[in-house]
A and B are shown apart, each in its own frame.
Chain A
């Protein structure tokens, strides 16, 4: 995109301020107003660990087309202040020809900004705010961006009215005065980068975060119980579910730790209610033993892991895809189970619903690997289609012979009774057991039950949901990725296509069991395969390599967090590779 073009199809802006300055609120207002005007876009946050006084930036990209990842560079940067900005300013480079607006009272911009090829405009944001009753610097910033990108005041005020509605009419009017002051100030910059008009709206738009979408997808799938222990960046899944579950006759219990939360959902699911919990890496580590219990006792549960930078506490507020190994291989013993990953924010809805379907149908734990980059991103999307699965546990029916809870069946799935059903009594057990559920240390029982559980997991028809294969069918170059990086890879392929370089995308939603046939089919005809993943050690590459032959030239673009791999980097790799 060109910062000086009159009408851009993409504009990225960042609002920077120390935690508590309201940068995130400003970004959220602008994104929603853009959505109401017909544009697409997304908002992510760059925050430090401190709740107040730390660094915070709202990163927003507006687009005429659905956008699934942030831009590499920013066309506009509004700095409410520069406190701690040196800690994170390198993560938001200003585009060549971009515009930086800062308050002279806040001191000099950081070196990275001063050295960038951009226009720096001084604007007394703080003074403007002080001069107005109830004035707030973040609302002045809303006005600045409103003017610069060509949003209408009316749309912005619609959003402000809803957000500040509870604070009364005066608060809304104060907000309006600030926004108008910002608009007026920006009108004097003589520098505008307005958005190209939006495409015609063909369906309703939603504004949703990945974490909310996971929660809603789970409810669509039939989840009616959750247990919760707060952890960044998964807490919003749980905070969304608390009132949402209550509104549909379900319940959420706050647990004392992750050991309790996973065991609570195991208990609730044993009682017949589809159940979920959400956590991040440290919590998943604590849950591993009980995930094995769910596998052995064949108790359906869904565990959402919104991945963050690890190991240990790592960087709690930043994204990584480095929990693949623990999700897939973290169980002791041979514990067949399922791992899935949403292919972006919008897909969190589908993948969560699908995860519930698989868990309930297969009476198995399913781990859903989301991550901070999609979990906490707020995105404008077309209203998602209704999806319905015929989800139900294979029911217990009373018969004359004693009930066999773990009966061997053709598909490996045994009828499951629910407490209260007469004649269906059994003890669910993590001990190796007979078909009736009685504890056993016999060799044949161990073998029979392992085989039964493998049959149900590997024999299941996962349909077309294993992942996506997109782009030029004839291309011999494949970008192979998974989960949240799908959007970046897709944009890279589009950018390459515009240059006449062909590549195609294969991205996995189904991580375990590895969809062998589908993956080999999707890779047929490839000569070069570029693995793309947000992991220092290349966990995804090693996982795939352990399962299928890779008779291709293989390269890997893999990196730890916190900097997210973007479309430009992926495109550069392909471009250079193809030029060799």
Chain B
């Protein structure tokens, strides 16, 4: 019997996204559905988990199982699900505010924990859903109503943090390059352990300057590595516009043995007898 064949459209729901015309997230959704079709896993065996923000609306736009939770906690929901149901393919979705600000602590520990799942962050360097406030990845001099004249703070460096915290796969892509995004997402899902993919996804409404990203991104000039020290040097010195898979590690994924058997608790009860 031939394995069933899936098209990208099999992974799309009939709900229209609320995103603004020109939003990079449309391309990310397209890349994800294409990647899932390439992998050929049935939609019901895939779970897409998110938090709050424009990018986090994505689960409902897929035809997979989805969970649209609270702000910043998608990684925790995803980790619980994957440990409890290791048979599923679990994708966690986030944005730069959701993932790196309110959810920053979970990011560190998800990298450390190394549960076998894929974390895709659509980074547009702005809070879009609340109409344009600076996020952890926003440039220090970016002017806004909430932080007039800019925050003056150094931007957060997600790839460095991921690597330092123990992520097993680190990549950066640009949403406009659907082919490269698709391929990297396939690689990320296939790689055991915690895979982190930052996708530069322009917010054309609050950051019209990001329309220029398509001219600024460039493929990393060096091949991927499994040496964290080399990867760190590379990521620390890049211009933030390098794309491609930068690090593919060999750490053992988190393991917990779970079973569908009901389990006999009589021995546990007997332990209390005196």
Interface residues of A (CB under 8 A from B): 32, 35-36, 204-208, 212, 216, 219-220, 224-225, 227, 244, 246-251, 253, 255-257, 259-273, 275, 289-290, 293, 297, 380, 383, 419-431, 437-439
B49, CB-defined interface residue at 8 Å: yes
- Stretch in B39-47, B183-191, B196-204 with 4+ CB within 8 Å of A: B39-47
Which residues of chain B are near A32, meaning CB under 8 Å? Answer: 274
Q: Contact check: which of A205, A206, A250, A427 meets B258 at CB < 8 Å?
A: A250
A248 touches B263 (CB 8 A): yes
Contact B68 A248 (CB under 8 A): no
A418: shortest Cβ distance to chain B, in Å? 9
B63 lies within 8 A of chain A by Cβ:
yes
Bound Cα distance A450, B76 (Å): 27
B273 touches A419 (CB 8 A): no
| Distance from B211 Cβ to chain A, minimum over Cβ atoms (Å) | 28
Q: Quick check: which of B29-37, B83-91, B155-163 contacts chain A, the rest being far away?
A: B83-91
Contact A249-B269, Cβ < 8 Å, known A256-B106, A289-B70: no
Majority SS at the chain B contact face: mixed
Inside 8 A of B263's CB, which chain A residues have their CB?
Answer: 224, 247-250
Contact B59 A427 (CB under 8 A): yes
A297 contacts across to B, CB distance below 8 A? 67, 69
Given A225-B80, A251-B257, A289-B70; A423-B44 close (CB under 8 Å):
yes
A422–B265 Cα distance when bound, in Å, is 32
Partner of A251, one of B67, B83, B87: B83
Q: Does B77 contact A (CB under 8 A)?
A: yes
Contact with A along B121-135 (1 / 0, CB 8 A): 000000000000000
Contacts of A271 in B (CB 8 A): 47, 80-81, 84-85, 88
Q: Which chain A residues lie closer than 8 Å to B80 at the CB level?
A: 225, 227, 253, 263-269, 271, 275
Q: Contact residues of B with A, CB < 8 Å?
A: 15, 42-45, 47-49, 57, 59-60, 63-70, 72-73, 75-85, 87-88, 105-106, 108-109, 113, 256-265, 267-269, 272-274
Q: Please tell me which one of the listed residues B81, B83, B109, B272 contacts residue A208 in the complex, with CB atoms under 8 A apart.
A: B272
Complex formed: what's the CA distance from A439 to B54 in Å?
Answer: 13
In the bound complex, residues from chain B placing their C-beta under 8 Å from that of A265 are 80
Whether the Cβ atoms of B265 and A425 lie closer than 8 Å is no
Query: A205 near B273 (CB under 8 angstroms)?
Result: yes
With A206-B274, A425-B64, A429-B60: A263-B73 Cβ-Cβ less than 8 Å: yes
Question: A224 vs B262: C-alpha distance in the bound complex, in angstroms?
Answer: 9
A250 to B265, CA, bound (A): 12
| A–B complex contacts, Cβ < 8 Å, 17 sampled | A206-B273, A219-B265, A220-B265, A225-B80, A249-B260, A249-B263, A256-B105, A263-B77, A266-B69, A268-B84, A271-B85, A273-B84, A419-B81, A422-B44, A424-B65, A425-B43, A439-B68
Task: List chain A residues, Cβ under 8 A from B73.
Answer: 259-260, 263, 290
Q: Which residue of A lies closest to B18 (CB)?
A: A439
Whether A420 contacts B87 by the Cβ 8 Å rule is yes
- Measured in the bound complex, the distance between the Cα atoms of B262 and A248 in whole Å is 7
> Of B77, B85, B108, which is within 8 A of A266 by CB?
B77
Most buried by A among B68, B108, B264: B68
